[in-house]
Amino acid sequence: MICLISDTWYLFNKYVRITLRMPMWALFTIIQPLIWLLIFGQLFKNMASLPGFPAGRYMDFFLPGAVIMTVLFGTSWSGVSLLREINFGTVEKMLVTPVSRISIVMSRVIHSAFTVIIQCLIIFIVALIFGVRVSGFSGMLLSLIVVFLLAVGFSGISNGLAIWIKREEPLVVMGNMMTLPLMFFSSAMVPKSFMPEWIRIITMVNPIDYAVEAIRVFYTGVVSSEAVFAGFAFLVLFALVSISWATEMFVNQSE
């Protein structure tokens, strides 16, 4: 276990240094969520006056959705870098060393989640500049735990798919399929009361919806509610299953 932790920490720092050498790539992934936050906040601002819509501006309502979009765009293609290292022979060289096989995947997943947390903090700061109201910073800090769990889950799926598919093009396509459709099948953009019944059913198994609902509750200043407990339970399970599947795929392929 000590070797696993130390190997994961060493590789995590390695990927952090690589990211610091290319900061524009990390910043690029937050451009689209920022655009959506600003444009959707203006485009759908009159929706907030409809009967049944939660009180407040639409931008206040959509901020958790913009945060989750940052998670998706930052993790759905994280398996591409693993696939490139496999194709370039970098992973093969690591496999002849005593490094833990599990740490090779774990370090990548944790690095993706860490990067996404930094990006979400930038989104949050920009939202505050544009007047988005959040009740208390404790809820904002707790929402980062939700972001971490969701990022670990989707990064694990992306890395597992990379090991399984072994081709970059279909991996990118599947990454796209994990972003917008899942966003629309959640309450990120509209309240559940505005959704058709069949979409509300899908939200019950959509981890994005649980994350959005939990973050939205946190942003109102509440740190304990049924939505929070349900969201945490579902996201912990989602993260554990995803990362377990990714590491199992990698270990099996490397044997």
**What count of residues does the chain have?**
255
Report the range of poorest mean pLDDT among 2-11, 34-43, 65-74, 242-251: 34-43
What span, in angstroms and rounded, lies between the C-alpha atoms of 20 and 47? 40
What span, in angstroms and rounded, lies between the C-alpha atoms of 246 and 211? 21
What span, in angstroms and rounded, lies between the C-alpha atoms of 8 and 2? 10
- Our count of domains for the chain comes to 1
In this predicted model, what pLDDT tens digit does every residue of 161-200 receive, in sequence order?
888 888 877 877 887 777 778 888 998 888 888 888 999 8
* Bigger pLDDT: 36 vs 246: 246
Torsion angle defined by CA atoms of residues 41, 42, 44 and 47, in that order, rounded to the nearest 10 degrees: 90
How many Cβ atoms from other residues are within 10 Å of residue 22's Cβ?
10
What span, in angstroms and rounded, lies between the C-alpha atoms of 205 and 213? 13
Query: Helix, strand, coil proportions of the chain in percent (round to 5)?
Result: 80, 0, 20
In this predicted model, what pLDDT tens digit does every residue of 59-88 receive, in sequence order?
888 888 888 888 888 788 788 888 888 777
Q: Confirm if 41 and 66 have CB atoms less than 8 A apart.
A: no
Token pair listed for 51 = 């009967």
Helix H segments across 22-57? 23-28, 31-43
Q: Which domain holds residue 203?
A: 2-254
What span, in angstroms and rounded, lies between the C-alpha atoms of 207 and 186? 9
Q: Let me know the angle formed at the C-alpha of 109 by 105 and 114, rounded to the nearest 5 degrees.
A: 145
Confidence (pTM): 0.88
> Which residue carries 């988005």 as its tokens?
132
